[in-house]
């Protein structure tokens, strides 16, 4: 890995409040291009909030976020936290793709239109090129035969694979996955995990994966971050975090989730 390149994601001292709830408490981390990072940690610790901040669905109260060397949120000399201009934000957003726990497909559009809509409208890609790319992505997620189906005709696992294809159609450099298998029936988890595994084999793709499946995190990630109460309590190689955690809070969390 080229250590001299700036990280693709650089987060410094990020704070987020909801009313009097201090959700993110001085979060800092770096992601290098191509890294596959798993975020684990208890419910309510701020994992989804972090991903939503990266997608500009929320604003931080203070702190800095840089994507691929470009400031998204920065601190002025007077200490104010400010967002980048709209054109910079648009460029940054184009580098990030997100898949949510609850799919968020457009119910009135076919699978194919779900995938081609944003490339055509946001990126101005011609319809036939967008459809060709959508076809390749559907092939990749094993749903080539569902192009003309509507979301309501699909299983949860199939919907989630469409959601992944839809995010990939925008050609992001960083993919954010927020507990993408936790709304699925157990027998459908594997097919979605398989798609994530396949993506993880692409060296250029940076992946930030929030998951409560420890075995999967261990297998897919080259770096694991343990979140608790709005900060990263501990991070390191999967082997270290899962086999030899240094912090009590990590140990307690792992005992709790693995004994279940």
Ligand X SMILES: Nc1ncnc2c1ncn2[C@@H]1O[C@H](COP(=O)(O)OP(=O)(O)O)[C@@H](O)[C@H]1O
**In the complex, which residues of this chain contact ligand X (CB under 6 A)?**
18, 21, 23, 43-49
Using the rule CB under 5 A, is 48 a contact of Mg ion? yes
Using the rule CB under 5 A, is 45 a contact of Mg ion? no
Sole residue written with tokens 């001299």: 4
Residue of minimal CB distance from Mg ion?
Answer: 48
To Mg ion, the closest distance from the beta carbon of 193 in angstroms equals 18
Q: Of Mg ion, ligand X, none, which one does residue 158 interact with (CB within 5 to 8 Å by kind)?
A: none
Angle (CA) 141 205 199, round 5°: 25
60 DSSP assignment: -
Distance CA 252, CA 29 (A): 23
To Mg ion, the closest distance from the beta carbon of 123 in angstroms equals 29
Q: How many CA atoms lie within 13 A of 184 on its CB side?
A: 25
Q: Of ligand X, Mg ion, none, which one does residue 176 interact with (CB within 5 to 8 Å by kind)?
A: none
Indicate the residue among 141 and 225 with the shorter CB distance to ligand X.
Answer: 225
Distance CA 85, CA 66 (A): 13
Q: Of ligand X, Mg ion, none, which one does residue 16 interact with (CB within 5 to 8 Å by kind)?
A: none
To ligand X, the closest distance from the beta carbon of 87 in angstroms equals 27
The 4-43 contact track toward Mg ion, x by CB under 5 A, reads ----------------------------------------
Q: Of ligand X, Mg ion, none, which one does residue 49 interact with (CB within 5 to 8 Å by kind)?
A: ligand X
Using the rule CB under 5 A, is 160 a contact of Mg ion? no
Task: List the strands of the sheet with 81-83, edge to edge.
Answer: 21-31, 9-18, 62-67, 70-75, 81-83
Distance CA 58, CA 248 (A): 31
Indicate the residue among 58 and 131 with the shorter CB distance to ligand X.
Answer: 58
Q: Of ligand X, Mg ion, none, which one does residue 69 interact with (CB within 5 to 8 Å by kind)?
A: none
**190 contact partners, CB below 8 Å, separation of at least 6:** none
Indicate the residue among 45 and 206 with the shorter CB distance to ligand X.
Answer: 45
To Mg ion, the closest distance from the beta carbon of 153 in angstroms equals 28
Using the rule CB under 5 A, is 114 a contact of Mg ion? no
Residue 158 burial class via C-beta count within 10 angstroms: exposed 0-12, middle 13-18, buried 19 and up? buried
**17 contact partners, CB below 8 Å, separation of at least 6:** 23, 61
Distance CA 158, CA 169 (A): 16
Indicate the residue among 110 and 231 with the shorter CB distance to Mg ion.
Answer: 231
Q: Of Mg ion, ligand X, none, which one does residue 4 interact with (CB within 5 to 8 Å by kind)?
A: none
Binding site for Mg ion (CB under 5 A): 47-48
């Amino acid at each position: 890995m080229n250590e001299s390149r700036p990280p693709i994601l650089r987060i410094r001292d990020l704070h987020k409040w909801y009313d009097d709830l201090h959700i993110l408490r001085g979060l800092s981390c770096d992601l290098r291009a191509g890294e596959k990072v798993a975020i684990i940690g208890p419910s309510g610790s701020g994992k989804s909030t972090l991903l939503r901040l990266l997608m500009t669905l929320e604003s931080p109260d203070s702190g800095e976020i840089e994507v691929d060397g470009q400031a998204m949120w920065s601190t002025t000399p007077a200490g104010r936290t400010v967002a980048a201009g709209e054109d910079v934000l648009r460029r940054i957003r184009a580098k990030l793709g997100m898949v949510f726990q609850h799919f968020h497909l457009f119910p009135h559009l076919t699978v194919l239109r779900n995938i081609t809509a944003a490339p055509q409208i946001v990126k101005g890609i011609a319809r036939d090129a967008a459809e060709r790319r959508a076809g390749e992505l559907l092939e990749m997620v094993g749903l080539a035969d569902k192009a003309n189906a509507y979301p309501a005709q699909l299983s949860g696992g199939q919907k989630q694979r469409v959601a992944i294809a839809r995010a990939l159609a925008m050609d992001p450099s960083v993919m954010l996955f927020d507990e993408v298998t936790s709304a699925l029936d157990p027998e459908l988890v594997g097919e979605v995990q398989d798609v994530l595994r396949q993506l993880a084999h692409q060296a250029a793709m940076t992946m930030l994966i929030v998951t409560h499946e420890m075995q999967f995190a261990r297998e897919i990630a080259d770096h694991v971050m343990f979140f608790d109460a709005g900060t990263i309590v501990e991070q390191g190689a999967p082997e270290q975090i899962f086999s030899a955690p240094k912090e009590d809070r990590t140990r307690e969390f792992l005992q709790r989730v693995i004994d279940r």
